[in-house]
Structure 1
Amino acid sequence: MEKITIKGSRKPVSRLIKGTDYFRHDNYDQVVTNLNAFLAIGGNTIDTAHIYCGGQSEEVIGRYLKEMNNRDEIVIFTKGAHPDRSGARVHKAAIDHDLSVSLERLGTDHIELYGLHRDDVSIPVEHIIEALNEHIDAGRIGAIGASNWTWERIQEANHYAETNGLQGFTFSSPNLSLAKAKEPFWHGCVSVDEETSRFHEQTQIPVLSWSSQARGFFTGRYTPEITDNEDLVRVFYNDDNWERLHRAEELAKKKGVTTIQIALAYVLNQAYPTCALIGAQNPAELESCQKGAEIQLTREEVEWLDLSANSIIQ
């Protein structure tokens, strides 16, 4: 599997990243099977967070790493400072607390990729960057990134870091998918738009996309008449996305692949480095993702899928 380099990480990062928001102690056997299968196809990066499954996701990953004795093979991407019932928590105390707990759960002294799970624009970027750099200097984290931050705030934070000799954000983790979100899937979430794409193309800061396959929109299960999934209707149902689905179906037929594989290939064939977080939970889903990651799309095909062009130039 192809891998990319992210500044600050000691290890390269696989283009497919294994999602773990279903990892619990009561399905540990499934976790082991899925992680072993992911590693077998060349994946090496696992996505988790302080809040996933009430902390069980990180605990189960830590158990797996200890039992398999394969920590050196794995890139851990975890996140902290997610809001709680009292509100936003993007400040030094929350970062320090969540990171400490995550390290203990994961059974490691170093996390390759550490992301802030949300933003709080009331907190000056200098406080956030300085707090994160303390942990970089202490060797607890490698690369730092922003999950669901706007490109403007990332730019502001990186400008402060650069002018003060500190490490800035070297990756971002918003939603990027062929289906474009009409509104955030969850409060405070950020999806890649045209301005965000231009920013990443100019800076070449990698995007690690969550919901990279638009939560099943391209599986063939959904049509304008099927409205039983309220969240999908709310976020993705509009004429433009149905046209994107139609074009993905057409291109899939031409290439002899599936529609959802084309949707995944769209994410991985941008003009800047990208990785896709995948939720594959069985061998068929993992095989589909593997094949989708191998599809090469031209710039013209990507633009046509995204409705930026009316035809594909041959």
Structure 2
Amino acid sequence: MTEPTPTAPMPTAPLGTSGTTASRLALGAMTFGAETDQSGAFDQLDAFLAAGGTLIDTADVYADGESERIIGRWLADRRPADTIIATKGRFAPPPGSAGASRRSLVRSVDASLNRLGVDAIDLYFVHGWDQQTPVVETLDTLSGLVRAGKIHALGWSNVTGWQLSRIMTEARRGGHVRPAVLQPQYNLLDRGIETEVLPCCLEEELAVTPWSPLGGGWLTGKYRRDDRPTGATRLGEDPDRGVEAYDTRNTDRTWDIIETLEQVAERHGRPMAQVAIAWLLRRPGVASVLLGARTVEQLNGTLPSIEIDLSEQDMADLTAVSAPGLPPYPYEMIEDFCDVPFWRDLGTAS
């Protein structure tokens, strides 16, 4: 058996009300088994562990389960006591099941446990809202899996403000195990959660663990205005890729944000990617930021973001240029009537 790699100190934060504390940087494993082979994945996991990281995040749909299998093989002889394994279910149900239904989740959790080779999942996320399944059924099922010792803590991902509020209300009403963590997209280019989702997280004491902190590579500075990406990058291979598609994000607002980010990065003598992550680490409610990489070199290029101490001016510059603005109703109306900035409780510049 391989001895655990010695770890360096890394700041930690509580994962909401779960009683679990995790490293402020997390390793996202979506590339494992797809863009990153097992050897490269092991290199990333070892480097993350050596940097003091503890939270490793995957999902049953990543590479059709291969991401979980790779992590399971790595865990077989490397796992230290403080490693926290998070996975998700909802989009890859077993045959004959649907979404976040009881049958689907019970089978999905058992399948993830088998692929990971563990007795319990430290943090289990429902990967998105399921319109077809009553949320009380999902909560009751998850609570039963916690009582059975198969899951230690619960989270949700990719929901709207009203959906998150419904989840938390039904958890209280039914005496179910309370979700403790939310995993949304959140970065300088996409601050959409600040309108309703993030305030709900703060109200409910949910920890936030954002994915896509670099906006699909946009915040690294590797893309250029009026120059469609090509080559071995995510957008080079697929310019229409999801929410980070080139034509969607190729806007004046994006380039204003990138210009300011570059200026702040130059003041610190750091890469833009590290500064973008450092900004996110300072946002209200954010406990741990997911780092996703194809190679260990890419991962090592983002891990030092934990060391950056942004000044108040740095934060103000980045927050102001990336401010998403408010819909006129009801948000701007609330500002006018109450004579207080809507964003005040989030500490942002409007």
* TM-score (normalizing by structure 2): 0.78
Equivalent pair of 2:128/2:159 in contact (CA under 8 Å): yes
Equivalent pair of 1:267/1:274 in contact (CA under 8 Å): no
Give, in angstroms, the shift of residue 29 of structure 1: 2.0
Equivalent pair of 1:118/1:147 in contact (CA under 8 Å): yes
Q: Once structures 1 and 2 are overlaid, which stretch shifts more, 269-278 or 226-235?
A: 226-235
Give, in angstroms, the shift of residue 57 of structure 1: 0.9
Equivalent pair of 1:7/1:143 in contact (CA under 8 Å): no
Give, in angstroms, the shift of residue 171 of structure 1: 0.6
Query: Aligned partners of 1:141 and 1:210: how far apart in 2?
Result: 22
Give, in angstroms, the shift of residue 42 of structure 1: 0.4
Q: Residue 224 of structure 1 corresponds to which residue in structure 2?
A: 225
Query: Aligned partners of 2:90 and 2:288: how far apart in 1?
Result: 22
Q: Secondary structure at the match of 2:288?
A: strand
Which structure 2 residue ranges, 5 or more long, are not aligned? Answer: 1-9, 230-238, 324-347
Give, in angstroms, the shift of residue 148 of structure 1: 0.7
Q: Do residues 195 (structure 1) and 196 (structure 2) align?
A: yes
Give, in angstroms, the shift of residue 86 of structure 1: 9.3
Equivalent pair of 2:31/2:294 in contact (CA under 8 Å): no
Give, in angstroms, the shift of residue 209 of structure 1: 1.1
Q: Residue 59 of structure 1 corresponds to which residue in structure 2?
A: 69
Percent of residue pairs identical: 27
Query: What amino acid is aligned across from residue 243 of structure 1 in structure 2?
Result: D
Which structure 1 residue ranges, 5 or more long, are not aligned? Answer: 182-190
Q: Do residues 124 (structure 1) and 137 (structure 2) align?
A: no
Give, in angstroms, the shift of residue 37 of structure 1: 0.8
Q: Do residues 37 (structure 1) and 50 (structure 2) align?
A: no
- 1:19-38 map, 5 Å: 19-24=28-33, 27-38=37-48
CA distance 1:204–1:7, change in 2 (3 Å) = closer
- 1:218-297 map, 5 Å: 218-228=219-229, 229-231=239-241, 232-297=245-310
Query: Where does structure 1 differ by over 6 angstroms across 4 or more consecutive aligned residues?
Result: 84-87
Query: Aligned partners of 1:258 and 1:101: how far apart in 2?
Result: 40
CA distance 1:155–1:296, change in 2 (3 Å) = farther
Q: Do residues 5 (structure 1) and 18 (structure 2) align?
A: no
Q: Residue 185 of structure 1 corresponds to which residue in structure 2?
A: none
Give, in angstroms, the shift of residue 283 of structure 1: 4.4
Q: Secondary structure at the match of 2:68?
A: helix
Q: What is the aligned counterpart of 2:320 among 297, 307, 311?
A: 307
Q: Secondary structure at the match of 1:43?
A: coil
Equivalent pair of 1:20/1:279 in contact (CA under 8 Å): yes
Query: Aligned partners of 1:199 and 1:164: how far apart in 2?
Result: 19
Q: Do residues 114 (structure 1) and 161 (structure 2) align?
A: no
Q: Once structures 1 and 2 are overlaid, which stretch shifts more, 265-274 or 76-85?
A: 76-85
CA distance 1:254–1:207, change in 2 (3 Å) = same
| RMSD, aligned α-carbons | 2.7
Equivalent pair of 1:46/1:76 in contact (CA under 8 Å): yes
Query: Aligned partners of 1:309 and 1:89: how far apart in 2?
Result: 35
Query: Aligned partners of 1:258 and 1:204: how far apart in 2?
Result: 32
Q: Do residues 92 (structure 1) and 105 (structure 2) align?
A: no
Q: Residue 184 of structure 1 corresponds to which residue in structure 2?
A: none
Query: What amino acid is aligned across from residue 72 of structure 1 in structure 2?
Result: A
Larger Rg: 2
Q: Once structures 1 and 2 are overlaid, which stretch shifts more, 107-116 or 162-171?
A: 162-171
After superposition, give the CA deviation of every residue in 1:112-132 in whole Å (9 maximum; x if it has no partner): 110011212343221111111
Q: Aligned pair count?
A: 302
Query: Aligned partners of 1:155 and 1:2: how far apart in 2?
Result: 30
Query: What amino acid is aligned across from residue 51 of structure 1 in structure 2?
Result: V
CA distance 1:303–1:236, change in 2 (3 Å) = farther
Query: What amino acid is aligned across from residue 192 of structure 1 in structure 2?
Result: I
Query: Aligned partners of 1:130 and 1:241: how far apart in 2?
Result: 42
Give, in angstroms, the shift of residue 296 of structure 1: 2.9
